[in-house]
Structure 1
Amino acid sequence: MPGNRGVVYEGPGKVEVHETDYPEFELKDGPGVNPANVGRKLPHAAILKTVATNICGSDQHMVRGRTTAPPGLVLGHEITGEVVETGPDVEFIKTGDLVSVPFNISCGRCRNCKEGKTGICENVNPDRPGSAYGYVDMGGWVGGQADYVLVPYADWNLLKFPDKDRAMEKILDLAMLADIFPTGFHGCVTAGVQPGSTVYIAGAGPVGLAAAASAFLLGAAVVIVADLNKERLDQAHSFGCETVNIALGEPKDQIEQILGEPEVDCAVDAVGFEARGHGHDAQVERPATVLNSLMDVTRAGGAIGIPGLYVTGDPGAADEAAQHGSLSIRIGLGWAKSHTFATGQCPVMRYNRQLMQAILHDRVQIAKAVNATPISLDQAPRGYHEFDQGAARKYVLDPHGTISG
């Protein structure tokens, strides 16, 4: 049995690479594992040798200490890998298959899964519907920023790449299928982006950039990306986006300079609960700012996609209400403008096969759009630090040197 290493959350601001247990076909006790999941048998699972596993902004929320994540949690929910072992109940996935792993863990059997709502599976997290690898309050499934990882319900969850050699040629692009590409795409779909749309995307991190690329894929006429970080705005501009620097003032005024009118057809929140203010408040945390500004700049009858993460518990929030996930949202404005809102985890399986085909047939260059940058597993702490400092990159961990090799 080979050894295993994983990227472990040690406390606010600190991650380290440690020796970890090699996966078994049973969920063991450990940091963050729900007691009701301990001892759960997994004959339907597969063990993967990790080819690529990405650092996500959602991971960063935990590492900053903005959640109740326990020390010792192995991180990582964006996984691409090669199957090295399957449980006795796995029928169709085979050893040697190269696969993408949706970050949603879903059973394929419950009502929500059968309706395509895989982000809120009813059978994988005893606390509430919905689960993910290596994430706080998600049932305790071990994260995939590791050499090897276990994936339950393998026949259901895994997306097999049809040609292994061809897939390896585009592995950095395909690594985005586990989360940020479908998540950005979902934000645009739920916001109603279509040919000719004008689109405003709050946040130029990897999800925001993936949403921008998705908007173009869906036929948007103008895509406007807003952020505080010049390097990230430059990255958005590099593939055709207009940009808004919210440190300079309210987005509405800058949108009017771009479009000749102060409103857009569609908007996407790719920031979430650690949002900052605009203008003179740009360095101050204002968790409701993005949602309120999106209602302000979206035309009446428009829709707002909200793939940005919001949490039920934020111990680092500036006020008591926000610590419990309560924000001062101008719902009256959204109601008056007949806005449609879509929230929650992206159901990755709704989109990942189609987006895989778009990648394989050169319809999109998602790795270039998000500036995907491979680093070794041992460099993960550095990657987390640089990402936290605002690096305009999507760090892709390469545990076995497969990508660089």
Structure 2
Amino acid sequence: MGNRAVVYQGPGRVAIQDIDYPTYEVKDGPGVNKMNVGRRTPHGAILKTVTTNICGSDQHMVRGRTTAPEGLVLGHEITGEVIEVGSDVEYVRVGDIVSVPFNIACGRCRNCKEGKTGVCLNVNPDRPGSAYGYVDMGGWVGGQAEYVMVPYADWNLLRFPDRDQALEKILDLTMLSDIFPTGYHGCVSAGVTTGSTVYIAGAGPVGLAAATSAFLLGAAVVIVGDLNEERLAQARSFGCETVDVSRGEPVDQVQQILGRAAPAIGQPLVDCAVDAVGFEARGHGQDAQVEKPATVLNSLMDLTRAGGAIGVPGLYVTGDPGGVDDAAKVGSLSLRLGLGWAKSHSFVTGQCPVMKYHHGLMMAILHDRVRIAKNVNATPISLDQAPQGYLEFDQGAARKYVIDPHGMVDNR
């Protein structure tokens, strides 16, 4: 059986290519850690990809801002139909419609047993944590393809309870593989709760997912900051206040929005903040077109109240060939840590442990408590349209592109 996939071809270029049909063994190839070559996965399942989304993290690689090798098959946001299971799989069945957490986790190591599936110790010889189709993540083949193999299937896969219902709500459920849990994790990490005032930096899909999550958690005010007016309009479409950071530092605009709803003592500042931008951050005001990778983190310390918390689901890397200086190229940023220390801020960084949240968020979707696809403007495209989707997303389109390799979305 054949297989086609989205393949990274160098900075600014992706293409649809024929690749091998998946098997239960890790084969050598671009980005595959040599210690993983030959690894057998009888605990895996082969999926027919129902949906697979383009992520901002993919764009970092495609822009040439990581050490990703040419030939890497992209894609870590996967929802699929099980069409085959390995000999060691007990509970997943052929025909199941499932969500695949972007974190690959073994379920056996200390971190997995503690629920820290974003830093599994057994699936990536390079460092803790792994993902499909991503640089330095062990070399597991990406899911922007017609078919993909998922290891440790009984542990990793979230099975939807009803096939017809799942396919009916597939544009919402496809967000469970990454951006919805990631945005939710950013909010939970920042302590968002009933009545919170929340600032979210970034109105891309993760930022909009975080804003959706803040409302789900009971926030009173959700403020989203960005440079892109189309994306800010998308945030306003479901009740967010917005800040155009090209006009200057967000703290002044945040104070105007909060006004009398803010604490009576001191300047009106938010209770919680989320960084959904990451290392390719731009400056504010006159520096809005200048890359300044520490801008967002420093501004969040400025506008978050003393004793507040900051969730950092935005991606930061240890290797950035396009960094603005030698420090940025190795992930060293000029942070005002003294300010955060003085204000007793807490920070939570790193990959979202998707399994911690995805079942609850699935239930919220299935019972119509949230409309995540609408809020992030989910837009289905065919596999052949993926290169154009990458281009438009890179240009700032206020959309979450959902690749539909087999026409299972458009045909319903």
| TM superposition score category, shorter chain reference | over 0.9
| Corresponding residue number in structure 2 for 1:329 | 335
CA distance in 2 between counterparts of 1:168 and 1:134 reads: 25
Matched, 1:301 2:307: yes
Aligned mates of 2:228, 2:355 — CA distance in 1: 32
C-alpha RMSD of the superposition = 0.4
Q: Report the secondary structure of 1:73's partner residue.
A: coil
- 5 Å matches for 1:160-239? 160-239=159-238
| Residue of structure 2 equivalent to 1:25 | 24
Tell me the distance in 2 between the aligned counterparts of 1:6 and 1:171.
21
Alpha-carbon deviation of 1:54?
Answer: 0.1
Amino acid at match of 1:298: T
Give distance in 2, aligned partners of 1:48 and 1:205. Answer: 28
Aligned residue identity for 2:274: V
- Tell me the distance in 1 between the aligned counterparts of 2:188 and 2:114: 17
Aligned residue in 1 for 2:406? 400
SS across alignment from 2:290: coil
Query: Is the CA contact (8 Å cut-off) linking 1:253 and 1:262 kept in structure 2?
Result: no
Off by >2 Å, runs of 4+ in structure 1? none
How far does the alpha carbon of each residue in 1:68-89 deviate from its partner, in whole angstroms, 9 at most, with x for none?
0000000000000000000000
- Aligned partners of 2:46, 2:360: CA distance in 1, in Å? 25
The DSSP-based 3-state class of the residue aligned with 1:234 is helix
Give the TM-score normalised by the residue count of structure 1. 0.99
Q: Please show how residues 226-375 of structure 1 align to structure 2 within 5 Å.
A: 226-260=225-259, 261-375=267-381
Letter in 2 for 1:399: P
Give the match for residue 92 of structure 1. Answer: 91
Deviations 1:8-46, CA, capped at 9 Å, x for gaps:
000000000000100000000000000000000000000
2 CA distance for matches of 1:293 and 1:87? 49
SS of residue matched to 2:271: strand
Q: Distance in 1 between matches of 2:119 and 2:167?
A: 31
Distance 1:175 1:166 in 2: 13
Match for 1:202: what amino acid? A
User: Aligned partners of 1:65 and 1:51: how far apart in 2?
Assistant: 28
Counterparts in 2 of 1:7-26, with a 5 A limit?
A: 7-26=6-25
> 2: distance between equivalents of 1:253 and 1:98?
47
1: CA distance, partners of 2:152 / 2:285:
48
Equivalent-residue separation in structure 1 for 2:324 and 2:213 (angstroms)? 33
SS at match of 1:99: strand
Distance 1:380 1:229 in 2: 22
Q: Provide the rounded CA distance (Å) in 1 between the counterparts of 2:61 and 2:370.
A: 31
Residue identity in the other structure for 2:366: L
Q: Which amino acid aligns with 2:277?
A: V
Contact map agreement 1:200 1:267 (CA 8 A) in 2: yes
Contact 1:191 1:304 in 2 (8 A): yes
| Residue of structure 2 in register with 1:113 after alignment | 112
1:138 lines up with 2:137 in the alignment: yes
CA shift for structure 1 position 318? 1.0
Number of equivalent positions: 404
Superposed CA deviations along residues 229-263 of structure 1, whole A, max 9, x for unmatched, are 00000000000000000000110110011001541
Shift of residue 189, structure 1, vs aligned partner: 0.1
State the shift of 1:337 in Å: 0.3
**How far apart in 1 are the matches of 2:13 and 2:340?**
39
Q: Distance in 2 between matches of 1:276 and 1:22?
A: 41
Identity %: 79
2:56 is equivalent to residue 50 of structure 1: no
Deviation at 1:348, TM superposition (A): 0.1
2:387 equivalent to 1:381: yes
**Residue identity in the other structure for 2:365:** I
Supply the AA of the counterpart residue of 2:175. Answer: M
Please give the alpha-carbon distance, in whole angstroms, between the structure 1 residues aligned to 2:337 and 2:324.
21
Amino acid at match of 2:333: L
Task: Give the partner amino acid of 1:365.
Answer: R
Q: Where does 1:54-93 land on structure 2 (aligned, <5 Å)?
A: 54-93=53-92
Partner Cα distance (1:37, 1:307) in 2: 27
SS at match of 2:50: strand
The question of whether the paired residues in 2 share the 8 Å contact of 1:51 and 1:400 is answered with: yes
Partner of 1:320, secondary structure, is coil
* SS in structure 2 at match of 1:74: coil
Alpha-carbon distance, 1:375 to partner? 0.1
Q: Deviations over 1:148-183 (max 9, x none)?
A: 000000000000000010111100000000000000
**Aligned counterpart, 2:264:** none
User: SS of the counterpart of 1:382?
Assistant: helix
Provide the TM-score with structure 2 as the length reference. 0.98
DSSP 3-state at the match of 1:294: helix
